[in-house]
């Protein structure tokens, strides 16, 4: 399957919403749950999910529900989760990743990490200010979640914390974790400040598959 | 379980003396980060100086150069500790407050026969090898790792390059 046909598999509004829902969950998603999330029939959801799996956008596992095993437990359920594979199409051809890799290495070799963090914080702050100006009445947590979603972090509210299910700079973060995770943290901190989200704080808390930054409610917010 | 374990050496040139205010947070976090390492899956051993619970007293290449060295079961176990535990990643994020940038490699990884404990001479010669030849099976990095040798380690091969 070519990169273009993989991307084309998302060119259906309902299928895209299913994909987006599965990606934002912290667990594998069954057909019933996925169908309910979008408000469609189970069979329709199953067909879309399987097309997404065939395109390599979702991974499939089979598992029996918790607490059921042995004979009579029924067939294992088909569960879906986000695939780690990355797909990129650029027309005309562009290769920002190669440029970013070179610049990241330069930043490390020259010790420019503090400057990277300052610039990232400024950028986060611009994003937060723009969002605040567009939505003066929005609650801080909602505004922050919307900004993070727009930046590609796939925020997922998990009790008192907002987990970021996706690292928008994954390949780069994998190659240069201290630099890129530090950049992510500074960006999110700048965003929180500018959105006047004074009850929220960001810190590094790496979890498998997630962005290393987590946002949590805090009484003691450090600048 | 293979006949090989992973050794790691890290060096850092201090921005300021260890007892200066600039290094205060580094020192304050060292014990916690070391404790996390000690309790991490795959941790085997880490270098300690004669006096303490860490290696900050060892300065094999001059007073400004700190070293730390450890042995792990696998590359993945070391990577999980280094990059996937919050307190350690946070120290790495802040490393410019504590350590000067190096134009050369500051970390080297290499495979050792299970049970072997490397010394600083061995470790520093691996770092020199990495700096001279770039990553290879005898001295490599996280960004360009090499798998453990296929053969079973023979006695007395530990120091061969």
Chunked into runs of 10 residues, chain A (223 residues) has average pLDDT values of 92 96 91 95 96 96 76 83 90 92 94 96 96 90 92 88 92 94 96 86 89 82 42
What is the rounded (10 degree) CA torsion for A70, A76, A81, A86? Answer: 100
Regarding whether A196 and A123 lie in a shared domain, the answer is yes
Which tens digits make up the pLDDT trace of B105-149?
999 999 999 999 999 999 999 999 999 999 999 999 999 999 999
Residue A112 within any structural domain of the chain: yes
Regarding whether A202 and A106 lie in a shared domain, the answer is yes
- A-B contacts (CB, under 8 Å): 42
Regarding whether A28 and A113 lie in a shared domain, the answer is no
Regarding whether A130 and A26 lie in a shared domain, the answer is no
Last residue of a domain, one of A32, A49, A82: A82
Tokens of A129: 């200010």
Last residue of a domain, one of A53, A82, A111: A82
Q: Compare all CA atoms of chain B with the CA of A206 and give the residue at the minimum distance.
A: B84
Structural domains of chain B, with CATH: 4-133 (3.30.70.100)
- Output the pLDDT for position A20: 92
CA distances from A71 to A55, A62, A74, A79 (A): 34, 16, 7, 20
Confidence of residue B103 (pLDDT cuts 50, 70, 90): confident
Which tens digits make up the pLDDT trace of A166-204?
999 999 999 999 999 999 999 999 999 998 777 899 999
What is the rounded (10 degree) CA torsion for A105, A110, A116, A119? Answer: -130
* Domain of A35, in residue numbers: 3-82
Residue A147 within any structural domain of the chain: yes
For residue B124, give the nearest of B71, B67, B41, B75 by alpha carbon: B67
- Output the pLDDT for position B58: 87
Regarding whether A101 and A192 lie in a shared domain, the answer is yes
Average pLDDT of span B27-45: 95
Q: Compare all CA atoms of chain B with the CA of A207 and give the residue at the minimum distance.
A: B84
Residue A17 and residue B87: Cα distance in Å, rounded?
Answer: 36
List of chain B residues whose C-beta atoms are within 8 Å of the C-beta of residue A178: 89, 92-93, 95
Residue A223 within any structural domain of the chain: no
Residue A88 within any structural domain of the chain: no
Residue A87 within any structural domain of the chain: no
Residue A174 within any structural domain of the chain: yes
Regarding whether A210 and A100 lie in a shared domain, the answer is yes
Tokens of B82: 């280094």
Regarding whether A15 and A37 lie in a shared domain, the answer is yes
Contact between A169 and A104 (Cβ < 8 Å): no
Q: What is the mean pLDDT of chain B?
A: 91
| Closest-CA distance of chain B to residue A203, Å | 8
List of chain A residues whose C-beta atoms are within 8 Å of the C-beta of residue B80: none
Is the pLDDT at B158 greater than 60? The verdict is: no
Is the pLDDT at B157 greater than 60? The verdict is: no
Reported as type and span, the H/E element at residue A93 is none
Regarding whether A78 and A112 lie in a shared domain, the answer is no
- Output the pLDDT for position A88: 87
Question: What Rg, from alpha-carbon coordinates, does chain B have?
Answer: 15
Helix (H, G, I), strand (E, B) or coil at A197: coil
Residue A179 and residue A167: Cα distance in Å, rounded?
Answer: 14
CA angle B83, B85, B91 (to 5 degrees): 75
Is the ipTM value over 0.90, yes or no? no
Total structural domains within chain A: 2
Residue A90 within any structural domain of the chain: no
Regarding whether A203 and A151 lie in a shared domain, the answer is yes
Last residue of a domain, one of A27, A52, A82: A82
- Output the pLDDT for position A74: 75
- Output the pLDDT for position A46: 96
- Output the pLDDT for position A221: 42
Which tens digits make up the pLDDT trace of B43-67?
999 999 887 788 888 888 888 899 9
Regarding whether A101 and A68 lie in a shared domain, the answer is no
Regarding whether A179 and A111 lie in a shared domain, the answer is yes
The angle, 0 to 180 degrees and rounded to 10, between the axes of the packed helices A113-134 and A177-194 is 30
Whichever domain contains A66, its CATH number is: 1.10.10.10
Regarding whether A38 and A12 lie in a shared domain, the answer is yes
Edge-to-edge strand ranges of the sheet holding B107-113: B43-46, B65-72, B4-13, B107-113
Residue A56 within any structural domain of the chain: yes
Strands, E, within chain A: which ranges?
29-30, 58-63, 77-82, 155-158, 161-164, 200-204, 213-217
For residue A181, give the nearest of A167, A164, A166 by alpha carbon: A167
């Amino acid at each position: 399957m070519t990169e273009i046909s993989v991307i084309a598999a998302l060119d259906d509004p309902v299928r895209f919403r299913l994909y987006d829902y599965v990606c934002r969950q912290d667990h594998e998603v069954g057909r019933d749950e996925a169908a309910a999330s979008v408000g469609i029939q189970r069979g329709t959801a199953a067909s879309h999910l399987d097309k997404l799996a065939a395109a390599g956008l979702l991974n499939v596992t089979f598992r029996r529900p918790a607490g059921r095993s042995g004979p009579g437990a029924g067939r294992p359920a088909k569960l879906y989760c986000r695939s780690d594979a990355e797909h990129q199409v650029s027309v005309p051809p562009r290769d920002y990743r190669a440029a970013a890799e070179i610049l990241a290495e330069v930043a490390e070799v020259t010790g420019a990490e503090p400057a990277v963090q300052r610039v990232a914080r400024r950028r986060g702050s611009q994003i937060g200010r723009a969002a605040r100006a567009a939505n003066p009445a929005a609650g801080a947590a909602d505004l922050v979640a919307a900004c993070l979603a727009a930046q590609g972090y796939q925020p997922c509210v998990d009790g008192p914390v907002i987990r970021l299910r996706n690292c928008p700079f994954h390949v780069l973060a994998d190659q240069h974790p201290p630099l890129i995770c530090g950049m992510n943290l500074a960006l999110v901190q700048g965003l929180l400040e500018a959105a006047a989200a004074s009850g929220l704080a960001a810190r590094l808390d790496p979890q498998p598959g997630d962005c290393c930054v987590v946002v949590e409610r805090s009484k003691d917010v450090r600048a | 379980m293979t006949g090989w374990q992973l050794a790691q050496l890290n060096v850092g040139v201090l921005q300021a003396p260890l007892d200066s205010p600039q290094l205060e947070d580094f020192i304050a976090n060292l014990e916690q980060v070391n404790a996390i390492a000690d309790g991490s899956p795959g941790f085997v051993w880490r270098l300690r100086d004669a006096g303490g619970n860490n290696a900050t007293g060892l300065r094999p290449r001059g007073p400004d150069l700190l070293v730390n060295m450890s042995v792990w079961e696998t590359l993945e176990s070391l990577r999980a500790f280094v990059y996937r535990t919050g307190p350690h990643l946070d120290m790495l994020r802040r490393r410019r407050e504590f350590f000067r940038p190096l134009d050369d490699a500051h970390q080297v990884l290499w495979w050792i026969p299970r049970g072997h404990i490397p010394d600083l001479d061995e470790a520093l010669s691996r770092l020199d090898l990495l700096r001279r030849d770039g990553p290879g099976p005898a001295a490599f990095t996280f960004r360009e790792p090499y798998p453990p040798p296929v053969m079973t380690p023979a006695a007395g091969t530990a120091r061969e390059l």
